[in-house]
Amino acid sequence: MTKQLLAGEVALVTGAAGDLGAVFARALAEAGASVVLADLNGSKAETEAEELQNEGLQAFGVAMDVTSEESVADAFERSMSRFGTVTILVNAAALMKEIPTMDPLALDLTWWNRVMDVNLTGPLRTIRAAVPHMQALGRGKIVNVSSGGAFIPSGVYGVSKLGLVSLTTSLAKQLGSSGINVNALAPGHMNTSSGHEARHHDDALVAALSHAVALKTLGEAKDLVGGLLFLCSSQSDWVTGQTLSIDGGWIMRL
Active site residues: 157
Q: How far apart (Å, rounded) are the C-alpha atoms in residues 188 and 172?
A: 23
Given a contact cutoff of 8 angstroms between Cβ atoms, the answer to whether 149 and 160 are in contact is: no
Which contacts (CB < 8 Å, 24+ apart) does range 116-120 have? 116/156, 116/160, 116/163, 117/67, 118/66, 118/67, 118/93, 118/94, 119/94, 119/95, 119/157, 119/160, 119/161, 119/163, 119/164, 120/160, 120/163, 120/164, 120/167
Phi, psi of 249, deg, nearest 5: 85, 35
Q: How far apart (Å, rounded) are the C-alpha atoms in residues 135 and 193?
A: 37
**How many Cα neighbours within 13 Å face the side chain of 199?**
19
Residue ranges of alpha helices (H) inside the chain are: 19-30, 42-54, 69-83, 109-116, 122-137, 155-175, 193-198, 203-212, 225-232
Pair type for strands 10-14 and 59-63: unpaired
Pick from 248, 227, 217: nearest CA to 185: 227
